[in-house]
Structure 1
Amino acid sequence: MEQKSEVLHWKNFSQWAYAICVVTFDLELGQAMELVYPSHCELSERERANICYLAFPDSNSGLIGNVQFPFRIRMCPETRQNLIQTSSSNFNEKYPVSLKGDIGYLYGYIYFRQVKDKSLKRGYFQKSVVLLSSLPFVSLFSHIMEIIAPEYFERGEASLEAACHDIDQWLPPLPGPLTLPLHGNLIKVRIPSGQDKMGNITQSSNTESVTATPSIVIPNPHDIPAFPILAPVLPYLNLLWELILIAEPFVVMATSPTTAANMVQTLVSLISPLKYCGDYRPNFTIHDSEFKEYTIRASAPPNVILGVTNPFFAKTLQHWPHIIRVCKEAGSGKAKLSKQKTLKVVEHKPGVYTKYKPYLRPDKNLVKRLLKGVQMGRPIEVQSALLRRHLLELTQSFIIPLERYAASLMPLQKNVAPYKSTPTLRPFNTEEFLSTLESSGPQLTSGIKGDWHSLYKCFFKTCNFSSWFNQRHQEMSKKLSVLHMQAICDANMKEWVGSKCEVEVVDMVLRLREKLRISESLDFSNDIAGKLQTQIELLISYLPEDVKSVIKKS
């Protein structure tokens, strides 16, 4: 009972985060979990082990100071159930497709500190503060950790308790502008909606003036600046976009966890507004519980993007088909990177290592424009916006023909009859779709040339296509149900019932009751539900008294 009361107490907090952990280095145990707050939050032994190993950089780079990076792990069934119980609302449905969290995965936002300390036997202070959440809000939570972690290192556990109480006062993470007080700061952020036009999200709708309290404005909760991260691989932008589109296995090798994680997060977002549906791990260690699953050579690599820093992976994952090696910290603005034909030199030289031949030609104008921006000293934010705009337009050019064809699978409205069953959608026929490309393909909206047909054929075999089409199928099926229910609501039941026998009327009542049940479960408008109920009552009024009694009780 006390546990349940504790959960209810942290109801608002649990909409944003699952827990905040502190991981320290123990001379006997290695990385060890020192603290989990709030105390009622439970983690399995496997999750604890994964979090402990992920909380520290998995390399011998000798990082000194503060380092931030995210991770992503599979949740155990028990943790997933706890998350469902504590977070009563599903905000996922209201977010854009590319921003939706993945059921069964937990995101971790790490703030690691390593500084010399002669008073400690090891000679170094090494500790990480980790915020766990089901929300993939990388930018927002990185800023949050920049406030929480330094306070903890200075003031101790009491500051974590205070931070959690602050978060527990926040409004739910619904789309729209939010002001989030934390440790005397105000974080202003706008969470996008599924109804927003992609690429046209305002910086912040909250314009109130705050002078007494420091204010941090975050334009978008999940985006990190794309240009400094992608600058080293600009000549291969279209190639990378294709590989992510068709969900190919990828390894990102870097010298720091921040660089690896930023590249992985940015790669995943290349095909926005399409959702990347393969697995991805911004930071992956040799101690990960799925290490054997991902490094075995006996089978083809799974559809996953791994970010790694341990030099050991250069040999262990050398058989993977696509590797990006980034040696320097992102942000240098340099775009020189050689593409190698062999994977044997991956351990030493930066580059994009792949034998994949892209179907589309690279956009040299974009590269020239961005490199000119570097020479002119154009702000990184503007460079990133230009890059994002290019990728958005490329993906939209790819999606538009698919959307147009999917819409053609809907039955004509004249075939939606109130006295018949709801008509079904035509199946997706890949050959029929490909035949439409000549007259309405991506070449109408994109200047990029290439073999679009073959790219679509590869795309149809991927989880990205399955996810997109399943989503569209659900949306169109719901729209078809609404049209059918509307037709029933507008039908002249008095005229219809006059020529029907008792059995047919009872059958129609039962069918309309099922429609009413569906309308309630799918959250249709009260107007439709009310009209359906009126039609049901009208039909029942035409039945004999004994049948009425049975129907009303059923």
Structure 2
Amino acid sequence: MGPSGLSPDALEYLQILRRMCNFGENKALSLVYPHDFRLTEKEKTSICYLSFPDSYSGGLGDTQFSFRLRQSGGQRTSHYEDGGEYNREAPLTLQREAAHFFGYVYFRQVKDSSMKRGYFQKSLVLVSRLPYVNLFQSLLQLIAPEYFDKLEPCLEAVCNEIDQWPPPAPGQTLNLPVMGVVIQVRIPSRVDKPGSSPVKQFNQENLLPAPMVLPSIHELDLFRCFQPVLIHVQMLWELMLLGEPMVVMAPSPTVSSEMVLALTSCLAPLRYCCDYRPYFTIHDSEFKEYTTRTQAPPNIVVGVTNPFFIKTLQHWPHILRVGELRMSGDLPKQVKVKKLAKLRTLDTKPGIYTSYKTFLHKDKTLIKRLLKGIQRKRPSEVQSALLRRHLLELTQSFIIPLEHYIASLMPLQRAITPWKNPPQIRPFRQEDFMKTLEHAGPQLTCVLKGDWLGLYRRFFKSPNFDGWYRQRHKEMTQKLEALHLEAICEANIVAWMKDKSEVEIVDLVLKLREKLVRARCQHLPVKEETLQRVGLYIETIIGSLPEDLQAVLHHH
């Protein structure tokens, strides 16, 4: 237990619960939990600005939204590191981030004549490295209203409860008690089948009161987020796949952050490898970097609400402007695609301002099903499931040919021999890959027609391809290492040693030791018994050497 009364495990979920006060224009951090969690001054300032809606809307009441913040200063090792075990088992899209914090905000604005401005304005913010938007926003819905009434003692009590929570373990269903409620949620795992929805509830009968079950720790209501852009889902998916710079202009931080998170999640199970800011303000330290006209905009999706950005970001290639949802008859009014040049005035209509031409044709059957679903009052979660499945199938159709090709670059198992370094993975040649598409391309699994080849060529230039390739190459390298260790285990070591010099034998001992260390450090996909056998081999080899050498090697 640290001085804050929070254990390392609790920090996993709750890096900081903090309240912000707003005195006139002066935004200040008035309380940080746990007390010993260190933030740089730059981070504190950013968090203060990001915790308040920056466009004045007379809206009273409570709002929730999210932000993502670049960590400033060097790498900080936090006391909850688990040796990377969580990231190894979690889906790529839910990994803990090393260089960013996520902020989850609950903001309240109510009339209060005792305040100088006539309003009570406060935000409760939870900061974590985990993108668990549903879990943390649900947690804030429980805590924030109580906290605004009872202030600090309430927060202390909550922190003590969260302190007892188990760390998030991929594949497990957790029961998380807080304020008389048990939140039940399953942490997704990398081995889950994409698109399958896990069992909703577990061990109900012995939990009293009945738990508050979250169907997902992170998935947004995609259908609700995309209602005004349903007919453009194909275009938005392509823009995300290619990592194109995009601005989302919205009437509130809630709409802006939900739209940005919905967009960046629509590539699952492929990881979106570019930067994204669900809510961004003019006070952000990267403001100058994004608004400069001297260089191309970075690969990022930013969500903004301040009309000032219309002027400063009109050189960006893709701008999605969403308003409050309007209906036309019983269907949501769809935004139109417009030329960027039209984005001049401050009262710009909703629309997608871009000159981008899609590579693939629209999926009209999907759009018809969704629109029919609205008329038939189909529940939003069913509509979301349809949309999510469509996007999943689209991404898989695109990625499966790449997976097949990269798998063919792996050396054959029979080429892996015990006493030679394992053969290299062959290089990825884009032209060779393109040749495979004729027989094994996306057309096998996807009905969508269009210029798939053109889409792949553009994808190769994007950070998403780079991120995917690095990840796969790393996994294949580790697999090779593992196969090599297994080959060594199956070899006849005594026969090999017969005609070898002492130098060669000592060299083998050192190499095997290094392999063993690497296998344990990198958690290679090797059975424990294989590692133990390699350990025994090392002992056998050392035992065959003269005593003076044995002594040296035992101390080495």
TM over 0.5: yes
2 CA distance for matches of 1:284 and 1:466? 26
1 CA distance for matches of 2:80 and 2:482? 33
**AA of the residue aligned to 2:533:** K
Equivalent position of 1:494 in the other structure: 494
2 CA distance for matches of 1:41 and 1:495? 58
Shift, 1:270, TM fit: 1.0
1:238 pairs with 2:240: no
2 CA distance for matches of 1:433 and 1:330? 45
Alpha carbons 2:264, 2:272 under 8 Å: kept: yes
Q: How does 1:259-298 map to 2 (within 5 A)?
A: 259-298=255-294
Please, which runs of 5 or more residues in structure 2 have no aligned partner?
none
Change (3 A) 1:539 1:132: same
Shift, 1:540, TM fit: 2.4
1:25 pairs with 2:22: yes
Choose which of 253, 266, 273 in structure 2 pairs with 1:257.
253
Alpha carbons 2:335, 2:352 under 8 Å: kept: yes
519-528 or 348-357: bigger deviation: 519-528
Equivalent position of 1:216 in the other structure: 212
2 CA distance for matches of 1:512 and 1:121? 72
Equivalent position of 1:341 in the other structure: 339
Equivalent position of 1:11 in the other structure: 8
**AA of the residue aligned to 2:412:** L
**AA of the residue aligned to 1:59:** S
335-344 or 458-467: bigger deviation: 335-344
Choose which of 545, 549, 552 in structure 2 pairs with 1:550.
552
Q: What percentage of aligned pairs have identical amino acids?
A: 49
Q: Which runs of structure 1 show a deviation greater than 4 angstroms over 4 or more consecutive aligned residues?
A: 86-89, 329-333
Equivalent position of 2:43 in the other structure: 47
The count of corresponding residues between Structure 1 and Structure 2 is 548
Equivalent position of 1:36 in the other structure: 32
1 CA distance for matches of 2:521 and 2:9? 25
Shift, 1:156, TM fit: 1.4
Equivalent position of 2:443 in the other structure: 443
Q: How does 1:144-159 map to 2 (within 5 A)?
A: 144-159=139-154
Shift, 1:333, TM fit: 5.6
Choose which of 110, 117, 121 in structure 1 pairs with 2:112.
117
SS for the counterpart of 2:79 is helix
2 CA distance for matches of 1:87 and 1:426? 35
Alpha carbons 1:177, 1:188 under 8 Å: kept: yes
> Any idea what the Cα deviations from partners look like across 1:328-380, whole Å, max 9, x if unmatched?
14999615221112342364111111111111111111000100000111000
Alpha carbons 2:8, 2:79 under 8 Å: kept: no
**AA of the residue aligned to 1:194:** R
Choose which of 119, 132, 135 in structure 2 pairs with 1:137.
132
Alpha carbons 1:227, 1:383 under 8 Å: kept: yes
SS for the counterpart of 1:403 is helix
**AA of the residue aligned to 2:502:** E
Equivalent position of 2:394 in the other structure: 394
2 CA distance for matches of 1:33 and 1:76? 17
2 CA distance for matches of 1:485 and 1:345? 60
343-352 or 273-282: bigger deviation: 343-352
Shift, 1:252, TM fit: 0.4
Q: How does 1:167-186 map to 2 (within 5 A)?
A: 167-175=162-170, 176-186=172-182
Alpha carbons 2:102, 2:127 under 8 Å: kept: yes
Shift, 1:206, TM fit: 1.8
**AA of the residue aligned to 2:339:** K
> Any idea what the Cα deviations from partners look like across 1:106-146, whole Å, max 9, x if unmatched?
11100000011122221111111001111110111110010
Choose which of 81, 93, 110 in structure 1 pairs with 2:88.
93
Equivalent position of 1:421 in the other structure: 421
> Any idea what the Cα deviations from partners look like across 1:198-250, whole Å, max 9, x if unmatched?
11131424241367425311111111100011111111111111110010000
SS for the counterpart of 1:206 is coil
SS for the counterpart of 1:77 is coil
Equivalent position of 1:539 in the other structure: 541
Equivalent position of 1:321 in the other structure: 317
> Any idea what the Cα deviations from partners look like across 1:139-167, whole Å, max 9, x if unmatched?
11110010110010121111111111111
**AA of the residue aligned to 1:364:** K
1 CA distance for matches of 2:375 and 2:202? 35
**AA of the residue aligned to 2:76:** Q
Alpha carbons 1:228, 1:333 under 8 Å: kept: no
346-355 or 357-366: bigger deviation: 346-355
Alpha carbons 1:229, 1:330 under 8 Å: kept: no
Alpha carbons 1:17, 1:134 under 8 Å: kept: no
Change (3 A) 1:538 1:127: same
2 CA distance for matches of 1:417 and 1:205? 49
RMSD of aligned residue pairs (Cα, Å): 1.8
Change (3 A) 1:401 1:211: closer
Alpha carbons 1:231, 1:333 under 8 Å: kept: no
Alpha carbons 2:6, 2:159 under 8 Å: kept: no
Choose which of 303, 307, 310 in structure 2 pairs with 1:311.
307
1 CA distance for matches of 2:195 and 2:452? 24
Change (3 A) 1:127 1:8: closer
SS for the counterpart of 1:32 is strand
Alpha carbons 2:40, 2:73 under 8 Å: kept: no
Please, which runs of 5 or more residues in structure 1 have no aligned partner?
none
**AA of the residue aligned to 1:240:** L
49-58 or 84-93: bigger deviation: 84-93
Change (3 A) 1:188 1:211: closer
